[in-house]
Amino acid sequence: MGSPCELRLYANREQNAQQVANEAIAEINRLEKKYSRYRDDSVTTAINVSAGKKPGLEVDNETARLLDYAQVGYEQSDGLFDITSGILRKVWDFRSSRIPTQFEIEAVLPLIGWCHVEWVAPYLHLPFVGMEIDFGGYVKEYAADVAANICSQAGIAGGMVNLGGDICIIGPHPDGNGWKVGIRHPRNPNLPMSYVLLSSGGLASSGDYERFMLVDGVRYAHILNPKTGWPVKSLASASVYAEQCVVAGTSSTIAMLKGEDKGVQWLEDLGLPYICMNQEQEIYGTLKRVEGLE
C-alpha cells in the first residue's frame, strides 16, 4: 500500500504463523487492489468512471458498508470528512512548490460534496461528470482491522498489524505485556516523538508531514478543507486510539481537519485517548506515554 507494512504474530509453530500471515496479507492485498484509484480494474475506478451517468452503479456489500461508513463520517464531522474531496489533489500538487490560484480551486469545488452524491444502497450515483470518490482516507485502517481479525479468528492470541503507521493489535505478547508502539515525530521522521503501550485495539495517526510543501516558509499540507479547498492550519499530528483502527483513523483525520483547538475538543468529546503535537512542537494528550528505551 505504498508504505512499510509489518505483521507480527506469536504462534508456537512457524508454519502456522506463516499460514495465518499469508491469509492476512492476501486480504490486505485484495482490499488494496479493490479500492486503489490507480488501478483500472478497481471498484473506485469503476465508480469514478460512472460519474455523471444515470442511473449510477450497483455496488457490492463491502463497498456499500464502506460508503455507509463514509456517510456517517461526513455527518459526524459536519462535512469535513468527505470522500469526494480527493479531486483537490488535481489542483494541489505538493511536489510542485506552487500554490494554486483561488480560481483553480473554485473550479473544482463544485465537484466536491458528499451531500450531492445519491447513495441509496446498493445504488451509488455521482451526479456530475468529473466527480470522484476516494476510499484512501480510511481503507488502509480498515484493512488493518480486517487483517488483525483474520489472525484472531485463526487462534493467534498475540500480535500486531502495522500498515504504514496504522496499527491494529491482535493481542499482547505471550508474557502479557503490551506492544510498545512508536509514534512518528512530525518534524523528524526517523525519531519517534513518543511511545505508547497497547494490548488491543487500533491506533492511527494523521499529520501534516505526509504530503506538504514549504512556500516562502509557510507549510502547506494535504490536510485540505473540502469546503474551501485550502489546507487547514492545524496540529502537526494527531494519533488516536480506538477499539477499531478505522474509527481511530477517521477520528484523527477529522481532528486534523478541524484545526488545533476544535480538533482537540473533538477528540476530548469523543472520549478517545489521543496524543498530538502542535506547530510549536508541544506534545500533549490523554493517551498514556511510556519510556522509549528498552
Partner 1 sequence: MKKIGMVVLLIAGNYLLGACSSVNPWERGILAKPEMAWTPDSLRWQLQEHIYFSKEGSSGGYGAGGGGCGCN
Partner 2 sequence: MGLKRSGLSPALAALTTAAMTLPGISTIVKAGAVANEPKLSLQYTRYDEDSIPSGDAAPEAGDRDRYEIDVAQIEFLYPINGQWQLTGGFVYDDMSGSSPWFVRPTNADGTGDPLVVMSGATIDDTRYDFSLKADYFGEKFTISPSIGYSTEKDYKAVSGGVEVEYESPNKATSVRGGVAVSFDEIDPTQLAGVTRVNNEDKDNFSIFGGLTQVINKYTVIQTTLGVSHFDGFLSDPYKQVWVAGSILPDSRPGDRTQYTWATRLRRYSELLGSALHVDYRFYYDDWDVRSHTLDLGLHKVTESGWALDTSIRYYSQTQADFYEPFYRQARADGEYSSDYRLSPYGSFVFRLGLSESIGEWTVKVAAERYISDKSYSVQSVDVENPALLDYTAVTFGADYSF
Residues at the site binding partner 2, with contacts judged by CB under 8 A: 10-13, 16, 27, 61-62, 65-66, 68-69, 72-73, 75-76, 142, 145-146, 148-150, 152-158, 175, 242-244, 246-247, 250-251, 266, 269-273, 286
> What is the rounded distance in angstroms from the CA atom of residue 119 to the CA atom of residue 121?
6
Residue 178 binds partner 1, judged by CB under 8 A: yes
CB closer to partner 1 out of 207 and 273: 273
Rounded to 10 deg, the angle between the 260-270 and 245-258 helix axes is: 150
Binder among 4, 155, 176, 189 for partner 1 (CB under 8 A):
176
If binding is defined by CB under 8 A, does position 177 make contact with partner 1? Answer: yes
- Compute how many other C-beta atoms are within 10 angstroms of the C-beta atom of residue 283: 15
Which one of the spans 2-10, 54-62, 121-129, 167-175 is the region binding partner 1 (CB under 8 A)? Answer: 167-175
Question: Given the rule CB under 8 A, which of 7-15, 87-95, 170-178, 254-262 is the region that contacts partner 1?
Answer: 170-178
Per CB under 8 A, which of residues 54..93 are in contact with partner 1? Answer: none
Question: What is the identity of the amino acid at 28?
Answer: I
Alpha helices in 77-120 (DSSP H): 102-108
**At which residue does the C-alpha cell 473544482 appear?**
108
- The number of angstroms, rounded, from the C-alpha of 6 to the middle of its chain's C-alpha atoms is 17
Q: DSSP for 140-191?
A: HHHHHHHHHHHHHHTT--EEEEEETTEEEEEE--TTSPPEEEEEEETTEEEE
Kindly tell me which of 99 and 157 has the beta carbon lying closer to partner 2: 157
Q: Which residues ranging from 96 to 155 are in contact with partner 1 (CB under 8 A)?
A: none
The residues binding partner 1 (CB under 8 A) are: 169, 171-172, 175-178, 196-201, 241, 243, 273, 288
